């Protein structure tokens, strides 16, 4: 076997081993949960919402999905402006500082909207449902900390 063939064979075997490693890793290791997954699980599957609650929740969720998307787009735009400012100033100059402030403001608006959505959902619940919902909210906010 020539040295070129050996190199090609090694590259192919390394590639196949890498693919195998990714496959085994995905199959054996737990996937990280997305933020808010536990809250969604509680709200939709553990609280036994009645038909009226489910209908009102659907309206809230549809409305918030549009609002969240708009706020996320604004956040992406502020990040792009921050990148432009960093590229222009190559340091922590006035444009970078202003872009950071704009980015923080956009993050704050997204967080405020998310909290307003959570509180609006809570208002749909009966008193026997709120403690489990509240616990899921606290868990969602503190998961991975500590």
What is residue 35's predicted lDDT score, i.e. its pLDDT?
52
pLDDT, the chain, mean = 84
Report the topology of domain 34-143: 1.20.120
pTM (predicted TM-score): 0.69
On the CB side of 59, how many CA atoms lie within 13 Å of its CA? 7
- pLDDT at 57 > cutoff 80: yes
Provide mean pLDDT across the span 41-53. Answer: 87
Provide the pLDDT for residue 146. 41
* DSSP letters for 70-117: HHHHHHHHHHHHHHHHHHHHSSS-HHHHHHHHHHHHHHHHHHHHHHHH
Which tokens go with 6? 């050996």
Write the Ramachandran bin of 2: left for phi over 0, alpha for psi from -120 to 50, otherwise beta.
beta
Over the stretch 10-38, which tens digit does the pLDDT of each residue have?
777 777 777 777 777 667 766 555 555 67
Give the pLDDT of residue 64.
92
The domain ranges of the chain are 1-31, 34-143
pLDDT value of position 34: 54
Contact 91, 80 (CB under 8 A): no
Residue 145: pLDDT band by 50, 70, 90 thresholds? Answer: very low
Q: Does 31 or 109 have the greater pLDDT score?
A: 109
């Amino acid at each position: 076997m020539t040295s070129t063939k050996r190199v090609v064979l090694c590259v192919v075997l390394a590639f196949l081993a890498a693919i195998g490693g990714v496959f085994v890793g995905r199959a054996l290791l737990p996937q990280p949960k997305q933020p808010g997954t536990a809250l969604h699980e509680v709200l939709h599957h553990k609280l036994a919402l009645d038909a009226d609650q489910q209908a009102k929740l659907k309206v809230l969720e549809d409305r918030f999905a549009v609002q969240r998307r708009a706020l996320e787009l604004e956040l992406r735009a502020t990040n792009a402006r921050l990148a432009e400012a960093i590229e222009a100033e190559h340091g922590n100059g006035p444009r970078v500082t202003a872009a950071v402030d704009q980015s923080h403001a956009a993050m704050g608006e997204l967080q405020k909207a998310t909290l307003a959505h959570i509180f609006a959902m809570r208002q749909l619940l009966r008193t026997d449902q709120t403690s489990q919902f509240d616990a899921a909210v606290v868990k969602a906010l503190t998961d991975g900390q500590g």
